[in-house]
Amino acid sequence: MKNVVVVGSQWGDEGKGKIVDWLSSQADIVVRFQGGHNAGHTLVIDKKVFKLRLLPSGIVRKGKISILGNGVVIDPWSLLEEILEIKKKGVDVTPENFMISETASLILPFHQEMDEIRENAAGKRKIGTTKRGIGPCYEDKVGRRSIRVMDLRSESNLDNRLENVLLHHNAIRKGLKKKIYKKTEIKKKLMKIAPEILKFAKPIWLKLEEFKKDRKKILFEGAQGILLDVDHGTYPYVTSSNTVPAMAATGSGLSPDKIGYILGITKAYTTRVGSGPFPTELKNKIGETLGLRGKEFGTVTARKRRCGWFDGVLVRQTIKISGINGIALTKLDVLDELDEIKMCIKYELNGKKLDYLPAASDDQFKIKPIYKSFQGWKTNTKGIRNIKDLPENAKKYIFALEDFIGAKISSISTSPEREDTILIEDPFKD
């Protein structure tokens, strides 16, 4: 029996929501360990669509426990709104099936405003953030001035913590000629929702230790993708947290040796939201076709995603960095109508061939992809649940992809529906 970590191997939006939901049928516990309400998951269950922003995907399944770990940053108002929305769709959210780490940091109104101010002022240097306050909240966490869930338990403690964080933010806001935040206003808003938030608060590291002793299966759900990792991604066009699988331990409190299998969700082509380098981007009719067939719009922001060919160099690199054991290949059916399909197998930079993505941002924008071409299958693969039933050209593409990236393809998704999945290797089984 293994505990499984699910991460995106590209720039996010690989279809983690469906895969996590599919795997959660075997899991007892589903844990989010980083990110915030900037990363959405879309689930399609019995033709009912659930768009989750902060809640773990396991919340839609009865009998499962969903957890937000200490590595997550939480907008408490957005969380309560999301809970209300999903309750209206018939999903129960109670302290018995949903828990929040008492040490998770809270996103406050001035975090979101600061995010917007910086991004709007950046001009052509925009990072492409969702303007939801994620980055500024992580900055306060690292600066040891954030408000954490546990701080809502004591008014006097909250007073002290707010004075500390506002001393920092109001100094910046004065310089930017923005309104100054009053401690009493924010405190009043926080104390009003404190009981609703605190009823879910637990020492998650301790709860995970109990679950481990009880031999519960734990599924860790990552947000975004490894190429958006603040250390290993396309910096500075990245998110503000570590998105690599190692963060599952740090962001939850479970010891690293208890993580048994790392599953990398990988789209059969490549997409990216926001600014930043994208070597295989297709600014043509094929790119438009991929976007339309794949419904490539952000769950949270509705922003149109940039689309391109599968970048084998990048995925191979993220596999090596993260220790991915198996790949869940998604959206294969989006490629069904194409005459020719390409895979990036190398880069060219200033006349030299490279088999990895250079670290310098300027170089990342300059590199040119070198492709290997495959004949399309021109046949509908949507809903296929057995690899034997896939067209031969689709299998050739899949096996070539598997061979190049150096990781076993453990499952293939052929539609957004939970059941339309070809299982080759079960991550939970030894």
Query: Which residues are identified as catalytic?
Result: 13, 41
Distance CA 14, CA 8 (A): 6
Alpha carbons 409 and 92: distance in angstroms, whole number:
34
Dump the DSSP string for 334-373: GGTT-SEEEEEEEEEETTEEESS--SSHHHHHH-EEEEEE
Helix (H, G, I), strand (E, B) or coil at 267: strand
Q: Write out the two tokens for 128.
A: 């492409």
Please state, in angstroms and as integers, the Cα–Cα distance from residue 139 to each residue in 79, 147, 228, 253, following that order: 21, 12, 17, 21
Residue 16 DSSP code: H
- Token reading at 222: 């990552």
Which positions ≥6 away from 356 have C-beta within 8 Å?
Answer: 313, 317, 347
279 touches 344 (CB < 8 A): yes
- Please say whether the beta carbons of 40 and 303 come within 8 A: no
User: For residues 97 and 61, what is the distance between their CA atoms, to the nearest angstrom?
Assistant: 10
The span from the first CA to the last CA of the chain, in angstroms, equals 6
- Report the distance separating Cα 224 and Cα 17, nearest Å: 11
